[in-house]
Each structure stands twice: as C-alpha cells, then as structure tokens.
Structure 1
Amino acid sequence: MTTVDSAGDEIRGTAQGTAPVPLSVLDLVTVGAGRTASDALRTSVEMARLAEERGFHRYWVAEHHSMPGVASSSPAVILAHLAAHTTRIRLGSGGVMLPNHAPLVIAEQFGTLEALAPGRIDLGLGRAPGTDGATAAALRRTERLGEGADDFPQQLAELTRFLDDDFPPGHPYRRIHAVPGPVQATSPGGVQSPHRPPIWLLGSSGFSAQLAGMLGLPFAFAHHFSAHNTLPALDLYRESFRPSDVLDEPYALIGVSALATEDEKEARRQVRAAALNMLRLRMGRPGLVPTPEEAEAHEFSTAEEDFVASWIGNVVHGTPDAVRTGLDDLRKRTGADELMITANAHSGDVRLRSYALIADAYGFPTTSA
C-alpha cells in the first residue's frame, strides 16, 4: 500500500510561480480537420515536454472510443510513449474507464508504467464507457458476467487488490499476481515499502464523488463538460470524506476547458470551432475538429446557437491575463485543490501556445528545475 506521506505528496504537489494551486494538463489528443492521429500524438509529446519544462504538476490523457477527432483510445500506450519523452512530470489517466476492462489488465498496464517511470504515474478511473452504447458493447463490457457501471465499486475493489497484491487467503485470485507488481520503494531511512500508482476517482455526477469520499481517495471532477454539477459533487465529496491510508483530508481536482491567445477575438474564434465540434458530437455525428474558418461559414440554427453559447460560457478563454483571472475565480468558487486545464482547438500549435501563455501569466519558470 502506498503510504500517506508518499501518496499525499504525489497527489498534492506544489503551486508553481504565483498560481494559488497546482495547475495540470488534460490532453484529449485532439485531431483537427486536415490532420492525422500521428500529428496529434506528436503534438502530445510536445505538450508534455512543454508542461514539464514550464512546471505544470501532472499530465493526463483520457480514454475515448469511436471518435475520429480524439485519438486517445489507449491511454496506457500513450502514457508509455510520453514517459519515454519526459523525466519529471507526473503522468496519468484522466481516466481509464474501468467498466471497459478487466481489472487485472489495468493492474498489469499501470504496474508496467510504474516500472517504466517509478513514482510518476497516476491511475485515474471513470465508471462511464467513454463512448456510445454500440461501441461499449464492442468493447465486450456486457459479456463479463453482466459487469458495467453499476458494478464499479466491486471492480474498483478487485483492481485495488491486484495493484497491492494482497488478496486474502482463500480468495480465488489469491495466487494470481499482476506483473509487474508493487515497486519496492526505499525511504530516506532505508526502509522499503510497496509502492504503486495512486488511484483517483473521476466523475461528472455525485456517484464517484461520494465513493471517492467514503474511500478517502482523491477526486477529479469533469467541470469542463458538466459545470452545473460541479459544486454539488464537490460538496458531496467533502461531506462524504473519511480519512484513509492515502489522504487525511479531501483533495479535489477539477478539469476546466481554457484557451489563451494574444487576442481576445482570436480566442473566441478558436473556441467557437471547438463548440461546433462538440455540437456535432452531441448530435451523434462525431468527426475531426473543424477549423475556425469552417465554423465561421457554418449556418447555426437558433437551437444550435443556444447550445454553442452555453458551451462557450463554460470555457475560460481570452487573453492570458483574462484566462488567469477566470481560472482564479473558478478556483475560489469551487475551493478546488488543483486545476487541470484542457485546451480545445483545431490546431496543435494553438494548444501549445495557450499552455505557454497561461504559464507566462502565472509567472512559471521558463525552464523547470
């Protein structure tokens, strides 16, 4: 089991520059129109390197399926690639959708990642499939003894046992081991103890918030697509929290969509293209992220304009100073212990520039020590 000191330090991090809380990055490995998945993955490497150099705390990738504009169907594979191109920044899943996978497989994948990048791996878990029903069925979710989102607590308990390699005597899995297993970490005093990736629970409603609180685990809320549920979910998490071997007090991270450009109008132009992409997704027509020019030429109906306005209203965007103000205000309203920023834009260059501008606005170092 990871100790309180080591897990707490890894989870909490340190505020960089003049940021009041740690800032991190969520990467959807976005594929823009006219680009390829290979282009998007190369951009991810550049973004992870930039995040490390500028002092962002952690870098997560999310699991999505059957979405042409999101090339993050295999978080463990991407994280292994990013681990090979970075040296310090924490890497993790935001998240792996547990109902899509056998717990043993996840334990093996993240045990391997921990062996590749000791002390740098986070395992964020979600209970949704991260896709539509037909794709979820193709992922074989319904063929494993009826397991699904409703069995999430049981799946989580099984996964935790595999990660800790501590099934009790008499359990049918007692002799099964996830290999690589817990790493034997050595303390400054020379004492060795098992170490494995910290588990985070992710959610956009109250279920995972309450479960994370009851288990004493860190909680990450998807504010970027469920803003109306943010405060109720965080309140429920804090009210439900019980101290554990991992945390002695609640730790809540929120994902927030944010985009900074030198010019406010350009920021809105870029965000409007991302909004069109989300509109198409909600209409069951997912595709590559459109260019700003395509969004400008699109004839929106009144209902579509209402959707776009509502969606853009939850994106912190504008000049670097405006984005900093918006992020700080959001932190104050929610009491979040960490902000994880996702930049939605057609161009990888625009996303890279946005993270650099946000780092500048907070006075992050040009090169992190």
Structure 2
Amino acid sequence: MTDAIRGEVRGTAPVPLSVLDLVTVGSGRTATQALATSVGLSRLAERRGFHRHWVAEHHSMPGVASSSPAVILAHLAAHTRRIRLGSGGVMLPNHAPLVIAEQFGTLEALAPGRVDLGLGRAPGTDGATAAALRRTATLNEGADDFPEQLAELTRFLDDDFPDGHPYSRIHAVPGPVQGPTGRPPIWLLGSSGFSARLAGLLGLPFAFAHHFSARNTIPALDLYRESFRPSEVLDSPYALIAVSAFAADEAAEARRHTLAGALAMLQLRRGRPGLLPSPEEAEAYDYSPAEREFVESWMADVVYGTSEEVRVGLDDLRKRTGADELMINGRGHGGEAQLRSFELIADAYDFPELP
C-alpha cells in the first residue's frame, strides 16, 4: 500500500503536488457551475501530473458545494483515468462507519487502485448542523469516540470482524474480496495534535490543515513523526500539508482573488458563511480596522502571486515543514481563474503535458 501513498515527483518539484477541492461557489454562480469546474480541475490535474485530487466534506456553507464527497468522487472518477481521488476528508463522526465503508468500497470498485479515504474527527460545520447530521443531542460524542469509530471502519473495510462479534456477519459490499486492489488506504486528517499522534501510533499517513491552522503545523508534524510506529501501511512517516495558494499572470490579480478568499473566511468566522465574494466585491468592502487586521493576517498564510512567486513560497514552506507532499487549495471566484492558477503552478515546476 506504500506505493499508493508515496507519489511520483514530476518536473522540478521537490515533492509531489496535489489538489484540495472545496467545490467553491462564487457570488453570481451556481453549484452546477462549481461542480463543472471540479471536473475541469481534475482533468487538468491529471493531464499536468498532479498526484491526487481530494474533495473536502463541509455542510451548511453556501459557498462550498462539497457536502457529499463520495458522490462527487464518483463523478470525477468517470471523467479521469489515472489521478488518485479521495476525501480530504470525510468527517467520520457524521456517519456510521458501515456507510463510509460501503461508499468507499463502491468508489474503489469504480476506480480500482486510485481511491484514498481521508478521515477527520471534526464535524466540518457548526454545532446545530452537526446535531442534524448525527441525530444525537451529544455533539461531542463523535469526536470523543473517533479512535473506536476508526477501528470499526477499518474492520468493515477489511471484512475481518472476529467470530462472535455482533458485526461478524455484516459485510460492507463492495469489499476487498470483490476487487483486485483491496481497500482504499486510510489517511488521518487534522489541524491539531490529536490526529497527528493517532496517525503516528497507527503507522498511517497524516494530512495537516496548514491552510487554516498554520501556527500548529510544525508542532503537529513533529508530534506525528515522534509518535510514528512502522506498520503494514508505512515503514516511515508520510506527512502531507494542505496549503492555500493562488497564482495569476499578474501578482496584483492573484492578490485580488486572495483578498476575496479572506473576506469569505471573515464572514465564516462571524457565523455568516456565504458565497465566495468576487474580487470586485472584496475590494469594495468597507473593512473596519479589526476586519482589515484579520484579512491581512489570514492572507499572510496564503502563497500567492505570479507563478514564480508561488513556486518560491511553496518551496520555502516545504523546507520549513519537511512535508512529503503539498496539497494546494486554490480557491478562485470563477472557474477560469482557478484553472489558470493550477496551470501556472504546473508550468512553474516544469510539469509535463501527459497524454
């Protein structure tokens, strides 16, 4: 399974580069258009040699149309041939482990050997929405039970509950015995130390959310590496970090799109998530001093500019963190700008045009 995790380095990139997709819906646009952009992005990523394309689970956010990763991944699988596809991630506390095992067993049957199952312990939404998803009054129950839920999911995926277990006669179908590639590799996702330590103890690959928890990145990666125990999956740690990055032909244009993303984050932090503002809306917004401070602070953790400036920023981040892979979250208001950003990044690293 190690080969399914460690990717091939393309062009002059020091580590594999991948795509994190939030299926962003910009103001004046629709979810249908955002999903079409995701298909175009997946095709571009495959053609230019990005290693994987992950979709993140979010709920009750009008500007993020990725509430159903398994559905989107099935659609992307039908439009691609080589690129790895996965969840970045599925929020395990929101779902019964058997349901996830069935969904990703189905995806593995649709796209054998190129599906990743990234799992998070956060709800990916606010408390009320989490309660509606889980149908329970105890909102912290799912996160607190994450290790037990993970163990149950793994047994469903491997179809190996021991005799006498209440679930020993239950099978997640399609499952490993019905396909040549077994089950999808499991990744643990996190923005703090809990999942970092757990991933290390279990010998699993770890993906860290640097794009919204940059100050915790190095401590979490250190904890992961210190906690790591070799397993059947990995003989040494493998850490991926997700980073917000946006390239444009002109640095000023990249900054305009990054400012729009910062305004969207400001609205989210205030409990008023909406569609991604256009660059024009972001520039026209009347920021208070505190709001201006917030957006500038958020933008400081984004790598943006011309293709060469983005390359320098990504290379510096990799050196500082020692990450084994960089996964780029490049939110743009329109599909054209978003696709252009990834094309420019591929050009900056001399990625080849693959057939």
Shorter-chain TM-score bucket reads over 0.9
Q: What's the offset of the Cα at 1:146?
A: 7.8
Match of 1:313 in 2: 300
Work out the CA distance in 1 between the residues paired with 2:138 and 2:40.
38
Match of 1:3 in 2: none
Match of 1:267 in 2: 254
Work out the CA distance in 1 between the residues paired with 2:239 and 2:269.
28
Q: Which amino acid aligns with 1:231?
A: I
Match of 1:196 in 2: 183
The share of aligned pairs that are identical, in percent, is 78
Work out the CA distance in 2 between the residues paired with 1:361 and 1:102.
43
Which of 201, 206, 211 matches 1:219?
A: 206
The size of the alignment, in residue pairs, is 355
Work out the CA distance in 2 between the residues paired with 1:183 and 1:297.
57
Matched, 1:296 2:277: no
Instruction: Note the aligned Cα RMSD (angstroms).
Output: 1.3
Distance 1:141 1:241, change over 3 A: farther
Q: Deviation digits for residues 57-77 of structure 1, max 9, x if unmatched?
A: 000000000000000000000
Q: Which amino acid aligns with 1:325?
A: V
Work out the CA distance in 1 between the residues paired with 2:299 and 2:94.
31
Match of 2:5 in 1: 11
Match of 2:70 in 1: 76
Q: Deviation digits for residues 109-166 of structure 1, max 9, x if unmatched?
A: 0000000000010000000000000000010252699841000000000000000000
Match of 2:322 in 1: 335
Q: Which amino acid aligns with 1:126?
A: G
Matched, 1:106 2:100: yes
Match of 1:166 in 2: 160
Matched, 1:138 2:132: yes
Work out the CA distance in 2 between the residues paired with 1:134 and 1:284.
12
Match of 2:310 in 1: 323
Match of 2:20 in 1: 26
Q: Which amino acid aligns with 1:305?
A: R
SS at match of 1:91: strand
Work out the CA distance in 2 between the residues paired with 1:95 and 1:123.
7
TM-score by length of 1: 0.94
Work out the CA distance in 2 between the residues paired with 1:301 and 1:99.
37
Work out the CA distance in 1 between the residues paired with 2:317 and 2:210.
10
Work out the CA distance in 2 between the residues paired with 1:56 and 1:82.
15
SS at match of 1:340: strand
SS at match of 1:139: helix
Match of 1:362 in 2: 349
Distance 1:201 1:245, change over 3 A: same
Work out the CA distance in 1 between the residues paired with 2:288 and 2:54.
35
Match of 2:274 in 1: 287
> Would the aligned equivalents of 1:92 and 1:124 in 2 still touch at CA under 8 Å?
yes
> Would the aligned equivalents of 2:7 and 2:51 in 1 still touch at CA under 8 Å?
yes
Q: Which amino acid aligns with 2:89?
A: G
Match of 1:88 in 2: 82
Match of 2:338 in 1: 351
TM-score by length of 2: 0.98
Work out the CA distance in 2 between the residues paired with 1:259 and 1:43.
16
SS at match of 1:174: coil
Distance 1:174 1:145, change over 3 A: farther
Q: Which amino acid aligns with 1:300?
A: Y
Gap runs ≥5 in structure 2: none
Q: Which amino acid aligns with 2:111?
A: A
Distance 1:119 1:183, change over 3 A: farther
SS at match of 1:195: coil
Q: What's the offset of the Cα at 1:347?
A: 1.2
Work out the CA distance in 2 between the residues paired with 1:312 and 1:208.
26
> Would the aligned equivalents of 1:101 and 1:141 in 2 still touch at CA under 8 Å?
no
Matched, 1:182 2:176: yes
Gap runs ≥5 in structure 1: 1-6, 187-193
Q: Deviation digits for residues 52-104 of structure 1, max 9, x if unmatched?
A: 00000000000000000000000000000000000000000000000000000
Matched, 1:49 2:57: no
Match of 2:233 in 1: 246
Q: What's the offset of the Cα at 1:185?
A: 6.0
Q: What's the offset of the Cα at 1:271?
A: 0.5
Q: Which amino acid aligns with 2:51?
A: H
> Would the aligned equivalents of 1:200 and 1:217 in 2 still touch at CA under 8 Å?
yes
